[in-house]
Amino acid sequence: MLGLLRGPEERRRLAQQEIADAHPRHLIFQDRLNVEYLDDAVDRLPAAKRLFYRRLPAWVSQVVSTYANRRECDAVISWGERQSLLFALILKLTASRTRHVALLYWISPPRKARLLRLVASHIDHIVTWSSVQHQFAVQRLRIPASRITLTYHPVDQRFWRPMGRSTDMVCAAGNEMRDYPTLIEAMRGLDIRCHI
């Protein structure tokens, strides 16, 4: 199996933070699913190919590298719309039948939806964390419900646990589909810290 995630330096940094209990476990998929991440595969290529890949945006380089190595795996797991849709498009254009599982968050924006409809034939299964996006894919894009799994977003229960101390803060995270102005307005006048 192959996955699209982070390069080796990022994985080393995350591993150190996980050991120090300073960061949730991000590398659990590698351990549990026997996944090989190809982000650092570019560093092992001959010089001429390395030069080609380094001229591409990092996420495009990941997809092209994964496509080039697709025969070495049982399936490709792609995480995120950009990587997943581009990989599926390349599979479609080359008539490749590589098994492809796409983990998708937000497919309803019109451009993404049109592209997904075009390349859905080259995504064997979609996993999403949003019931709204699941419903959109089935009802609007006409992707069979049997090819889409709605699941809870993974949470590292070892990291996110009660710490045995008093709490006096609200913490909000994320950079997409968040309504921070409403949260800030709701916090006005309250004697509670808010960390965004």
Q: Is residue 36 domain-resident? A: yes
3-state secondary structure of 3: strand
Query: Is residue 72 a part of any domain in this protein?
Result: yes
Residue 185 lies in a domain: no
Report the CATH number that the domain containing residue 48 is assigned in CATH: 3.40.50
Concatenated DSSP letters of 64-124: HHHHHTGGGSS-EEEESHHHHHHHHHHHHHTT----EEEEES---SHHHHHHHHHHGGG-S
Helix (H/G/I), strand (E/B), else coil: 36? strand
Q: Is 130 exposed, middle or buried (0-12, 13-18, 19+ CB in 10 A)?
A: middle
Expressed as residue numbers, the domain containing 132 is: 2-160
Q: Which two tokens stand for residue 107?
A: 């497919």
Residue 100 inside a domain? The answer is yes
pLDDT at position 1, please? 39
Per the DSSP assignment, residues forming a β-bridge with 14 are none
Model-level pTM? 0.75
pLDDT in tens, the chain (196 residues): 345 444 456 667 778 888 888 888 877 766 666 666 665 566 667 888 888 888 888 888 888 888 988 888 888 988 889 999 999 999 999 999 999 999 998 999 999 999 999 999 999 999 999 889 999 999 999 999 999 999 987 778 888 888 887 778 887 777 666 788 888 898 899 888 888 8
As for how many domains the chain has, the answer is 1
Question: Amino acid identity of 68?
Answer: A
